[in-house]
Amino acid sequence: MNSKYKIIIYWSNADNCFIAEVPELAGCKADGDSYANALANAQTIID
């Protein structure tokens, strides 16, 4: 994981999962059933 981007991760009650957003990359969001999974999914999208 060599990302230089800020990743904001939070729990979404509406979606019942964690959401990872990358503010510097328009529209870059990922989700996951755990914090770690949401982070990994966001990293995949960034890469």
**Residue 3 resides in a domain:** no
**Residue 39 resides in a domain:** yes
Alpha helices (runs of H) in 1-47, residue ranges in sequence order: 35-46
Q: Provide the pairing of β-strand 17-21 with 8-12.
A: antiparallel
Taking the whole predicted model, whether its pTM rises above 0.85 is answered as: yes
CA distance 2 to 43: 9
Range of the domain at 27: 8-46
**Residue 14 resides in a domain:** yes
**Residue 1 resides in a domain:** no
**Residue 18 resides in a domain:** yes
The DSSP output letter for 18 is E
The total number of structural domains in the chain stands at 1
Q: What is the pLDDT of residues 17-41, one digit of tens each?
A: 999 999 999 999 999 999 999 999 9
The count of C-alpha atoms lying within 13 angstroms of the C-alpha of 34, restricted to the half-sphere facing its C-beta, is 3
**Residue 2 resides in a domain:** no
